[in-house]
Chains A and B, each alone.
Chain A
Amino acid sequence: MNKKTWISLMSLLCLGFGLLAGCSKKEEAQPAAAPEAAAPAAPAATPIDPATVANVSGTVKLDGAAPKAAKIDMSQDAACKGANSAETIVADGGNLANVFVYVKDGLGTRTFDVPTTAVTIDQQGCKYHPHVLGVMTGQNIDIKNDDQTTHNIHPTPQSNREWNESQPPNAAPIEKNFAREEIMLPVKCNQHPWMRMYINVVKSPFYAVTGPDGKYELKGLPPGTYTIAFVQEKLGEQTQQVTLAAKDSKTVDQNFKQ
């Protein structure tokens, strides 16, 4: 190359680096993102006579031996020191945890007040707590990061808006909500690919997630005939019908097969 060419190239390089330096911003903790724009005012909740309400409870079981939990390799981030077993199927003594139980059908056109208190998702030990969450449409979710590493929270919904935001250590909680019903909405962290959880967004307050003992309880249902759905992230959905009279308290157990 001749001298002119070298001068041209060097000038171009200097200009490029100058532009890069000028355009850069300070890396800083991103401010807590605003939740989705508030939906139009919801109609008033349909009144329920507290004297007639019924309850449904039960235990969700897994037939046969529970599969051995897969091991997670967290070595790619030294700040990750969580329990290194996957939560795809968690069954202790046949009791199946992390099953989302909700009233799928039978509530008709009833409407319900959205709770004003937020539910919390905590990122701790590079895992989501809880692994399965239930929330009402429009209800706020506070997402916290208790780890000394940056996470990103990336829900991949079918009918809600997708988003992907990073959250550095010690950042303010991210507050979000989902406008539409959606069951087993996956949430993942692309920085730590083993991190995965599911959010279940429903219109009624009649939902529960089974604990380690496989138990659930749906309280305060008005009398009627309902379809109760049991949803597990890998084993899929099963349903049962139940008819509740005033002040009934029924037991509805469910078994999943692998």
Chain B
Amino acid sequence: MPYNRAHHRFAVFTASATFCLLIAGALVTSNDAGLSVPDWPTSFGSIYKIPRMVGGVRFEHTHRMIAEFVGLLTIILAIWTWRVDKRRWIKALAVGALGTVVAQGVLGGLTVLFYLPPAISSAHAALAQTFFCIAVVIAVFTGRRWVEEVPEVELDSRRPSLITLTLLSIFVLYVQLILGAMFRHHGMSWWPHVVNALVVALVLTWTAVRALAVYAKIEAVRRPAIALIGLLITQLCLGFMAFLTRVAWGHDAVQPELPMVMSTVAHVAVGALLLATAVVLAIQVWRHVPVSFAERVPEGEGSPVAA
């Protein structure tokens, strides 16, 4: 299948717009503006009229407008992928992205209509980052390197394998995302998120060190591994700042204060980048550093069997 530059750039644009949407959503939560527009799917009774953008409304309505734009981009991306891409699995992925963005919109509406219940708000937060990861991997799969280059492959014989470590990284990051979202939406105390941060730091460091120590010569693995370790350090610093400004200093604040808003929003944004980087690393490891076939298939099952 030939590389389609316009299609790939559109996928990158969709992923970038989704990242902006994540930041807009984080601003809504940090500014306690989730219910400033009390109705949904309308805003103050209208679908297209822009209300007076003051107070919490400017965060909530801006979030809704960017969400509509990302929804539109996703529709276009799904149709475009369906039309131009010959790979069936990526067509399915694009349709899956569309389904995810629709589900995400419905969750966003439900959380407004039910006055921000922690379970629904946290599901909205988790699905947001899931969708971001899908948008990022579509951008990776439509890229020139993925489409045209013959992958440099090196079999992985270490235990646990690098692919296992990357999958474990995604798992602990996802758990961390849910714990953070539950705390942020008042469904849980802060300490499970902080305790799990240690687990995340350990697993991600192990994964990145393994990738860099053994497979640094494979660029597709080396780059996300370096990004993973850099983002991890940034995220730990931001988490500490968010803890100070929200839990230690800000628990009695009469209104959301700028340091708290900035640190928590940055923490959410870098968290999303970290999860997406772990997903990209897992995909590149799966492609470039597979576990050898003999080890994947139990003895005896790999040989041809007479009919």
Contacts and interface: CB of A to CB of B under 8 A. Distances in A.
Chain A, interface SS category: loop
A72 B254 contact: yes
A26 interface: yes
A86 B259 CA distance: 19
B303 interface: no
Contact of B72 (A1, A16, A164): A16
A77 B58 CA distance: 10
B interface, how many residues as a size bin? 35 or more
Contact of B115 (A16, A79, A164): A164
A235 interface: no
B87 interface: no
B75 A194 contact: no
A9 B80 CA distance: 9
A27 B61 CA distance: 15
Contacts of A165: 38
Contacts of B6: 1
Contacts of A12: 75, 79
Chain B, interface SS category: loop
B195 interface: no
Contacts of B35: 152, 154, 164, 190
B57 A191 contact: yes
Interface stretch (A17-25, A51-59, A224-232): A17-25
B85 interface: no
A193 B115 CA distance: 15
A70 interface: yes
A1 B79 CA distance: 11
A192 B79 contact: no
B114 to A, nearest CB: 9
A187 to B, nearest CB: 12
Nearest to B41: A23
B158 interface: no
A72 B255 contact: yes
Contacts of B79: 5, 8-9, 12
Contacts of B212: none
Contacts of B52: 149-150
Contacts of B46: 24-27
Can you list the 7 inter-chain pairs with the closest CB atoms, starting with the nearest?
A191-B55, A194-B255, A190-B36, A77-B54, A86-B254, A190-B35, A24-B47
27 contacts: A2-B83, A5-B79, A5-B84, A13-B72, A21-B48, A24-B48, A25-B42, A25-B45, A25-B47, A26-B46, A70-B253, A76-B54, A88-B252, A150-B51, A152-B35, A154-B38, A156-B115, A162-B115, A164-B35, A165-B38, A166-B37, A166-B44, A190-B34, A191-B36, A193-B31, A193-B255, A194-B254
Interface of A: 1-2, 5, 8-9, 12-13, 16, 20-21, 23-28, 30, 70, 72-73, 76-79, 86, 88, 149-150, 152, 154, 156, 162, 164-166, 190-194, 196
